[in-house]
């Protein structure tokens, strides 16, 4: 954990409708889908807390009350666990309500990521802040937020986390055009939201972690609806870049897009394999499943034939 972080506040936009996970998300927020036994959003909140930031605003929307309940006290459950002598589970449940100072505000209607962040303007005020998307989970020695905070110590301006993605996937991301100025650090020249592979200026994709100057709120207010008829954060960042420097940091660590079904399954398997109470038995189970799967048998037969 860092001492006295230069960024004191963080924002997690969690107001999306989760249409890629219907029908599961019809009655529960996508951010509450579990990776093994832990909701996705807790991994993101853990990242904030580990960096010493104790003021967190979660932007929710209609149907997202479960997120607020999750980080609130559950007195009946605590009493039940206490009476049954389940102290470890009791401590886990109580810890959730003591993480940090968590606040909530609602995005009035689903108008895009940029509009969700704009809903945080009164809480954030006039100071720089972190933004973490709740459908991006990372594994590694140091979180991407911690890496951004290190870079911020010298830049003291807006920094976005980026990773190289396959060219055929650039149309899923905000993409930066940038000039290398240091180890893994780029000065942003331009930003494009979800370009076609032929129009993309690079394959450096923004991957859901940002340190923002508060002037972004004025830029968001001036940003017209873009791709999908929504207020795109990338478009607002483009306007901000006309006023001040923006940097991009290639962050280390394994990234999972848990807003995507395949990414969610990959993260679930990786998290389960990393658990001391599950990993060994689960690995044996996966090996047996693969041996019995027709695709695996066909691939093995093709390998032997070569």
Please indicate, yes or no, if residue 283 is contained in any of the structural domains.
no
Please indicate, yes or no, if residue 210 is contained in any of the structural domains.
yes
Please tell me the least confidently modeled range out of 11-20, 131-140, 244-253: 11-20
Please indicate, yes or no, if residue 288 is contained in any of the structural domains.
no
Region of 172 please: left (phi>0), alpha (psi -120 to 50) or beta. Answer: alpha
Say whether pLDDT at 9 is over 80. yes
- What's residue 2's pLDDT? 42
pLDDT in tens, 39-49: 999 999 989 99
Higher pLDDT, 6 or 285: 285
Round to whole Å and give the CA distance between 278 and 36: 10
- What's residue 206's pLDDT? 93
- What's residue 1's pLDDT? 41
Helix (H, G, I), strand (E, B) or coil at 251: coil
Other Cβ atoms closer than 10 A to 263: 16
pLDDT in tens, 260-273: 899 999 999 999 99
Determine the structural domain holding residue 210 and report its residue range. Answer: 9-273
CB 134 within 8 A of CB 31: yes
Please indicate, yes or no, if residue 163 is contained in any of the structural domains.
yes
pLDDT in tens, 165-188: 999 999 988 899 999 998 899 999
Is 0.85 topped by the overall pTM? yes
Please indicate, yes or no, if residue 291 is contained in any of the structural domains.
no
Round to whole Å and give the CA distance between 204 and 206: 7
Please indicate, yes or no, if residue 16 is contained in any of the structural domains.
yes
Other Cβ atoms closer than 10 A to 92: 13
List beta partners, residue 129: 212
Q: What is the CATH number of the domain that holds 85?
A: 3.90.550.10
Tell me the mean pLDDT in the region 68-87: 72
């Amino acid at each position: 954990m860092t001492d006295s972080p230069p960024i004191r506040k963080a924002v997690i936009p969690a107001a999306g409708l989760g249409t890629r996970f219907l029908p599961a998300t019809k009655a529960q927020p996508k951010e509450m889908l579990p990776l093994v036994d832990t909701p996705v959003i807790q991994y993101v909140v853990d990242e904030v807390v580990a960096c010493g930031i104790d003021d967190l605003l979660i932007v929710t929307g209609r149907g997202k009350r479960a997120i607020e309940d999750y980080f609130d006290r559950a007195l009946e459950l605590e009493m039940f666990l206490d009476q049954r002598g389940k102290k470890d589970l009791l401590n886990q449940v109580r810890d959730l309500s003591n993480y940090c100072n968590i606040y909530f505000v609602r995005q009035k209607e689903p108008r895009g990521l940029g509009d969700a962040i704009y809903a945080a303007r009164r809480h954030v005020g006039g100071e720089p802040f972190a933004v973490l998307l709740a459908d991006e989970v990372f594994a590694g020695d140091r979180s991407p937020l911690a890496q951004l905070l290190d870079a911020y110590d010298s830049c003291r301006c807006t920094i976005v986390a980026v990773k190289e993605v396959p060219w055929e996937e650039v149309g899923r991301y905000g993409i930066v055009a940038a000039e290398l100025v240091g180890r893994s650090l780029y000065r942003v020249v331009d930003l494009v939201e979800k370009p076609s592979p032929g129009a993309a200026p690079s394959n450096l994709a923004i991957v859901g972690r940002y340190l923002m100057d508060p002037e972004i709120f004025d830029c968001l207010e001036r940003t017209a609806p873009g791709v999908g008829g929504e207020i795109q954060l990338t478009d607002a960042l483009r306007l901000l870049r006309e006023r001040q420097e923006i940097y991009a940091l290639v962050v280390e660590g394994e990234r999972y897009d848990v807003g995507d079904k395949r990414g969610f399954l990959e993260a679930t398997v990786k998290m389960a394999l990393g658990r001391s109470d599950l990993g060994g038995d689960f690995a044996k189970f996966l090996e047996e499943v693969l041996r019995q799967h027709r695709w695996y048998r066909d691939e093995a037969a093709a390998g032997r034939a070569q």
